[in-house]
Amino acid sequence: MPNINHNINSILKETGLYKCTLVAVSKTKPVEMVQEAYDAGQRDFGENKVQELVTKNEVLPKDIRWHMIGHLQRNKVKQIAPFVHLIHSVDSLRLLETINKEGEKNDRKINCLLQVHIAQESTKFGFDEKEIMTILSDGTVKNMPNVQIKGLMGMATNTDDESLVSQEFSSLKILFDKINHSFQLPNLDMTELSMGMSGDYMLALKNGSTMIRVGSSIFGERNYA
């Protein structure tokens, strides 16, 4: 069994010089382990499946901030719209439109990050820079009052090549700064740059990350049966 309390505290210590939020990625892990992390003081948790997110939200303490970090199907947005704290994985305009609609139904603004495709792997979801600049400049985002764009999310290539990973993180930081300098919209509040996982969070922080999503370094390796 992993020592969850110890793992969280050593990550917080290691990253202590950076101003960042640790999102504990609890996907596939039982509620008992989430509770253990909660008891260690952790409040931000990330899941990648809607059903699991909904189930855990029902049984765990109400002051947990739930982060949706995995690919999100439009027909499932309504299940998390009432309570989700931040959706990291907004990877298409149609999804953003659905989130806006569900935000309106729930009379709330839903916090979103636009997921940007930065890795070399072609299978990863996300916008490219041009698409983001377009929806920010042509009024599309401005006309969605029930979404609040809090920043960007990206995943680097899964590789040992640290210079490639650094370069990918740095390219996302450059885009983040560029958007911040170029646009001022009422529902654009670009404060969060979500990048870095168990294998690369220190590299991500060195390149400007404000939010790291860490699973296996806290809860141990996952078994996908």
Ligand X SMILES: *Cc1c(COP(=O)(O)O)cnc(C)c1O
Which residues contact ligand X (rule: CB under 6 A)?
25, 27, 48, 69-70, 155, 197-199, 213-217
Q: Side-chain half-sphere of 159: how many Cα atoms within 13 Å?
A: 13
Nearest residue (CB) to ligand X, 119 versus 214: 214
CB of residue 49 to ligand X, shortest distance in Å? 10
Place of tokens 């729930």: 106
CB of residue 173 to ligand X, shortest distance in Å? 17
Cα(206)–Cα(156) distance, rounded to whole angstroms? 14
CB of residue 48 to ligand X, shortest distance in Å? 5
Beta bridge partners of 211: 21, 194
Residue 142, judged by CB atoms within 10 A of its CB (0-12, 13-18, 19+), counts as middle
CB of residue 181 to ligand X, shortest distance in Å? 27
The CB-nearest residue to ligand X is 215
Nearest residue (CB) to ligand X, 117 versus 213: 213
Nearest residue (CB) to ligand X, 141 versus 197: 197
Nearest residue (CB) to ligand X, 70 versus 82: 70
